[in-house]
A and B are shown apart, each in its own frame.
Chain A
Amino acid sequence: DAKTTQPPSMDCAEGRAANLPCNHSTISGNEYVYWYRQIHSQGPQYIIHGLKNNETNEMASLIITEDRKSSTLILPHATLRDTAVYYCIVRVAVNNNAGNMLTFGGGTRLMVKP
């Protein structure tokens, strides 16, 4: 089972920031937080990941609380093309054969509206 909890759906106005929360209260010290999204039935698309520090890339920012029990994905200026299901996943780093798989939950269906 997924170790994360996300709201099933959210709306966001086009051009505004979308803040997607995720709870992972049982996260272990060696587990990373990953975010993926899936647009319609396409393959999941990697967005960002982090261990404990906040991270930013060209797609999004990831804010991880100090206790690491929750995180927020921020899309700074949402567009209609950001409408998708967003998945928050915790996973250990690859170590030979251990911890390779991703366990997807239900994710958050983000609807960006004009």
Chain B
Amino acid sequence: EPEVTQTPSHQVTQMGQEVILRCVPISNHLYFYWYRQILGQKVEFLVSFYNNEISEKSEIFDDQFSVERPDGSNFTLKIRSTKLEDSAMYFCASLYPGSSTDTQYFGPGTRLTVL
């Protein structure tokens, strides 16, 4: 069964450094998402991406964040200058639209630790 994959599984970085989190969505999916979950808190939506542009974003997704689909398979989340409060699990998801299949499938996540 096709899966969303994410790399790395764990990223440790110093405050102020740039990080890029990578995702490979399910191959025929058209919508792509990033969510995050700070330890002990709810899963929070960051951004959705469709047709090579951002379709929705939350207040969390400020100028420090950017997303890109550099080729036909990868979907990346870049944090330009990490802060301590960016430490969280980051989940990628993808979706193929349709009334019976309109479902987001999530990857296993990347644990980001900012020191």
Closest to B4 in A: A43
**CB-contact partner of A44 in B31, B43, B97, B99, under 8 A:** B43
Q: Could you tell me which residues of chain B, from 35 to 65, have a CB within 8 Å of some CB in chain A?
A: 35, 37, 42-45, 48, 50, 55-56, 58
Q: Is there an interface contact between B102 and A103, defined as CB atoms closer than 8 Å? A: no
Q: Is there an interface contact between A97 and B50, defined as CB atoms closer than 8 Å? A: yes
* Known pairs A100-B55, A102-B104; A41 contacts B99 (CB<8 A): no
Closest to B57 in A: A101
- Residues in B with CB closer than 8 Å to A21 are none
**A-contact bits for B67-95, CB 8 A (1 contact / 0 none):** 00000000000000000000001010101
Main secondary structure of the interface of B (DSSP, over half): strand
- Residues in B with CB closer than 8 Å to A41 are 37, 89, 109, 111
**A41 vs chain B, min Cβ distance (A):** 6
**B33 vs chain A, min Cβ distance (A):** 7
Q: Is there an interface contact between B108 and A42, defined as CB atoms closer than 8 Å? A: yes
* Known pairs A100-B48, A100-B55, A106-B42; A94 contacts B106 (CB<8 A): no
Chain B interface size, under 10 / 10 to 19 / 20 to 34 / 35 or more: 20 to 34
Q: Is there an interface contact between A101 and B48, defined as CB atoms closer than 8 Å? A: yes
**A88 vs chain B, min Cβ distance (A):** 13
Q: Is there an interface contact between A97 and B45, defined as CB atoms closer than 8 Å? A: no
B107 at the interface (CB under 8 A from A): yes
- Residues in B with CB closer than 8 Å to A100 are 31, 33, 48, 50, 55-56, 95
B103 at the interface (CB under 8 A from A): yes
Q: Could you tell me which residues of chain A, from 72 to 103, have a CB within 8 Å of some CB in chain B?
A: 87, 93-94, 96-97, 100-103
Instruction: Tell which of B33, B42, B43 has the most Cβ of chain A within 10 Å.
Output: B43
Q: Which residues of A contact B (CB under 8 A)?
A: 32, 34, 38, 41-46, 49, 87, 93-94, 96-97, 100-106
10 pairs of residues in contact across A and B, judged by CB atoms under 8 Å: A41-B109, A43-B107, A46-B104, A93-B97, A96-B50, A97-B48, A100-B55, A101-B33, A102-B35, A102-B43
